[in-house]
Structure 1
Amino acid sequence: MGVRDSGNGLYSGMYFDGDRPASLYNKNVEWLRYPHFWWLYLGFVAFFVTLLRLTVLSKPEDLGRVLTVTHVVHNMVFFYLFHWIKGSPDNFSQGEFNGLTLWEQIEDGIPWTKTKKLFFLVHTALVFAASYVTDYDFSYLAINAPVYVFLGIIPKIPEMHRVRVFGWNKTAGIDDVPDDLLSSPSRPTATAAGGAAAAGKKNR
């Protein structure tokens, strides 16, 4: 049976047509629906800033460094958790999300949802705060700007959905769908492919 892509980004869709697993049953992203998640998320960021201010960067003039370190660490941790780790520990999905990162699983991969916009807002607020406090000093911008663009923004845009740049973070057997199948607007189903193969044998 030839490898195919059903357009839904699911593992089983590479081999046969089927229904999408309900997003509500993906426990890997279900916790993002809870309102108190955002308070906890922002609380962790505030705690990290406070920790730096009370320890290694406690001087008044160190606020710019504190916000820059917070911005960089936040982007690195967020990128690893949301844009690098793939799959879902939930057995209900039966491996359907093995080829998707956490970000690609959020709200069934629909772009520009409220949740995703809020994440964009947090990233933007952090880089703006770090740049404003440092008076847009070039030495800080040279760090904050690339981190914001390449770790905070580009991985989140819809055009990067299921894109593995230079093959990084690819999973053999899941992410190696031929490019012509991914880019083709009309993809043959497994039934059609089997019928075509059978017809070819009869014509020999």
Structure 2
Amino acid sequence: MSRTGIKLPALDLSAAKPLTGLRSRGRSSSIVKVEHVGDRSVEEFVDRGAYSNINADWVNSKGAWMIHVVLIIFGKIIIDTLPGMTQQISWTLVNLFYLAISYLMFHWVTGIPFGSDLHGGAYDDLSLWEQIDDGAQYTPAKKWLFSVPIGLFLASTHYTNYNPWLFAINLTALVVVLIPKLPQLHRQRVRFLTDNASGMSTPTTQSFPNSGTSTPPISRMPTAVHLTEAHFQ
């Protein structure tokens, strides 16, 4: 009986790369995000009612409404004293300065500057506008504060002779100040370019080694083993 030889190349597994697991790709940040501040819990109502909030109660005090008119007139007189000032630029500056101070005071700054520990931090995330009248809407004080910017805008539009460029500037500033006063945006915050709050990662396709990477090159091929029938006896 003739012996049949079978040549099998030895496999070298040292060059094979292990499979990598699932890779995670973090979710991209949100461009615009609207979130609610404050929990409206029973503890928050108790903390807010423990002491009087003097940071917002002055709005309903005697003379608090008239001070807006006095400041507008006083600012107009000061701006008119600048050399080379025209009535169009003067009214525009008065309108912009009042709206900027109003936005900074009523909508930008949050919390209370003194006695915050007396309320257990219940006002830390609330703006002055949200603290007025304990957050109630359509109160006389809020109606007055809503109408003053509109009245000043109409006056500045009239005295600027309805200049289209100055009208666009004054109207833009007015809209920016009035939007945070809307009841629909009460305790709402608009965030830009914020991270995704879910904290989850999006799985990607499982990574496999490229074809041929686990195949040893010819130069590294080991010597073939010669098998005969004697190996199977």
Match of 2:188 in 1: 163
Select which of 143, 157, 160 maps to 2:169: 143
Match of 1:186 in 2: none
Deviation of residue 132 (structure 1)? 0.9
Select which of 21, 31, 52 maps to 2:48: 21
SS in 2 for 1:154: helix
Match of 1:123 in 2: 149
Structure index of larger Rg: 2
- Which has a greater percent of helix? 1
Task: Give the total of aligned pairs.
Answer: 159
CA contact (8 A) 2:106 2:129 kept: yes
Does 1:154 pair with 2:179? yes
- TM-score, length of structure 1 as denominator length: 0.69
SS in 2 for 1:19: helix
- TM-score, length of structure 2 as denominator length: 0.61
For 2:181, give the aligned amino acid.
K
For 1:153, give the aligned amino acid.
L
Mapped partners of 1:113, 1:39: distance in 2: 17
CA contact (8 A) 1:23 1:107 kept: no
Structure 2: any 5+ residue segments left out of the alignment? 1-36, 199-233
CA contact (8 A) 1:11 1:98 kept: no
Match of 1:198 in 2: none
- Cα distance change on mapping 1:47 and 1:106 into 2, 3 Å: same
Deviation of residue 55 (structure 1)? 2.1
For 1:47, give the aligned amino acid.
F
Report matched runs for 1:8-47 at 5 Å. 10=38, 13=41, 19=46, 21-22=48-49, 25-47=52-74
For 1:30, give the aligned amino acid.
D
Mapped partners of 2:111, 2:128: distance in 1: 7
Mapped partners of 1:42, 1:66: distance in 2: 16
Identity of aligned residues (%): 25
Match of 1:76 in 2: 100
Does 1:133 pair with 2:133? no
SS in 2 for 1:86: coil
For 1:158, give the aligned amino acid.
P
- Which has a greater percent of strand? 2
The superposition leaves residues 77-104 of structure 1 with CA deviations (integer Å, 9 ceiling, x where unpaired) of 1111110111112242121100100000
Match of 2:4 in 1: none
Structure 1: any 5+ residue segments left out of the alignment? 1-8, 171-176, 179-204
Match of 1:192 in 2: none
Mapped partners of 2:66, 2:144: distance in 1: 12
Deviation of residue 39 (structure 1)? 2.4
The superposition leaves residues 105-158 of structure 1 with CA deviations (integer Å, 9 ceiling, x where unpaired) of 0001111110011011110011001111112211111100111011x2101000
- Cα distance change on mapping 1:113 and 1:72 into 2, 3 Å: same
